[in-house]
């Protein structure tokens, strides 16, 4: 697949601000209790399924990737910004990080126990979200878990079953309403077929 044109601008932007971003972004231990609980629940669900590797897509400087490792899963980070990956590798040399795009994951079919997209899909044009979610579905093993934090549409249409949604109202930490979505790849053909008859999830 040819790289979508918007990725060049995203890459350049994050390469430019990477050092400041890494210094300012909170570590998961500093997040609000609900956000931390969603990460914990995600990790527990991954471990309870097959415990396969977890891709943190849009991992930035790797702080959340490292947090997932502390929760007992086997994570690795992917980011479109080479500078972000450089910072992540420097900060967490025991973890694996690589440059890549969520629109074309270099991951085999059915290979992942989980995917975390933590505030990383908001740069994706709406018309390309189905491509991203289809990639998530392709790379997840049956029963594999997805935690998407930010804005979500079209998850059911991509073949993913939404199991929980947390909507947080704006406060001093969250400057706008946000939503976290837990979903998984169906384990049976019947479950996947039933998605087409479900109403779309709230956004």
Within-domain flag for 63: yes
**Do the Cβ atoms of 62 and 87 come closer than 8 Å?**
yes
Within-domain flag for 27: no
Q: Which of 45, 36, 98 is nearest to 67 (CA)?
A: 36
Within-domain flag for 131: yes
**Mean per-residue pLDDT over the chain, rounded:** 85
Within-domain flag for 162: yes
**Do the Cβ atoms of 11 and 100 come closer than 8 Å?**
no
* CATH number of residue 119's parent domain: 3.40.50.150
For residue 119, name the pLDDT band (cuts at 50, 70, 90): confident
Q: What angle do CA 147, 8, 130 make, to 5 degrees?
A: 40
**Do the Cβ atoms of 51 and 112 come closer than 8 Å?**
no
Q: Determine the 3-state secondary structure of 114 from DSSP.
A: strand
> For 130-184, how does the pLDDT look when each residue is reduced to its tens digit (9 = 90+)?
889 999 999 999 999 999 987 565 688 888 888 888 887 776 665 667 788 999 9
Q: In what order do the strands lie in the sheet with 75-79?
A: 96-99, 75-79, 54-57, 112-118, 140-150, 178-184, 161-168
The residue to which tokens 């992917």 are assigned: 78
pLDDT at 199: 43
Within-domain flag for 67: yes
Pairing of strands 112-118, 140-150: parallel
Give kind and range of the element (H or E) at residue 43.
helix 33-48
Within-domain flag for 1: no
Within-domain flag for 86: yes
List CB contacts of 167: < 8 A, sequence separation 6 or more.
177, 178, 179, 202
> For 53-102, how does the pLDDT look when each residue is reduced to its tens digit (9 = 90+)?
999 999 999 999 999 999 999 999 999 999 999 999 999 999 999 999 99
* Range(s) of the domain holding residue 55: 6-20+34-196
Within-domain flag for 29: no
pLDDT at 107: 95
> For 10-38, how does the pLDDT look when each residue is reduced to its tens digit (9 = 90+)?
776 776 767 777 788 888 888 888 889 99
Task: Work out how many domains the chain is built from and give that number.
Answer: 1
What letter does residue 126 receive in the DSSP assignment? G
Q: Which of 164, 115, 122 is nearest to 136 (CA)?
A: 115
Measured over the CA atoms of residue 50, residue 28, residue 95 and residue 105, the dihedral's sign is positive
């Amino acid at each position: 697949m040819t790289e979508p044109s918007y990725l060049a601008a995203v890459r350049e932007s994050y390469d430019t601000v990477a050092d400041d971003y890494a210094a300012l972004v909170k570590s998961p231990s500093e997040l609000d209790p609900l956000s931390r609980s969603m990460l914990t629940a995600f990790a527990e669900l991954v471990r309870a399924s097959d415990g396969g590797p977890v891709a943190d897509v849009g991992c930035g400087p790797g702080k959340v990737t490292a947090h997932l490792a502390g929760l007992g899963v086997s994570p690795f980070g992917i980011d479109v910004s080479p500078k972000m990956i450089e910072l992540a590798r420097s900060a967490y040399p025991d973890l694996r990080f690589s440059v890549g795009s969520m629109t074309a994951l270099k991951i085999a079919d059915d290979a992942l126990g989980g995917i975390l997209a933590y505030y990383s899909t908001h740069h994706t044009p709406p018309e390309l979200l189905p491509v991203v979610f289809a990639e998530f579905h392709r790379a997840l093993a049956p029963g594999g878990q997805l935690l998407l934090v930010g804005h979500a549409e079209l998850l059911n249409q991509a073949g993913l079953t939404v199991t929980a949604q947390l909507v947080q109202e704006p406060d001093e930490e969250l400057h706008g309403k946000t939503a976290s979505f837990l979903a998984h790849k169906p384990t049976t053909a019947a479950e996947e077929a039933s998605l087409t008859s479900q109403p779309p999830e709230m956004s």
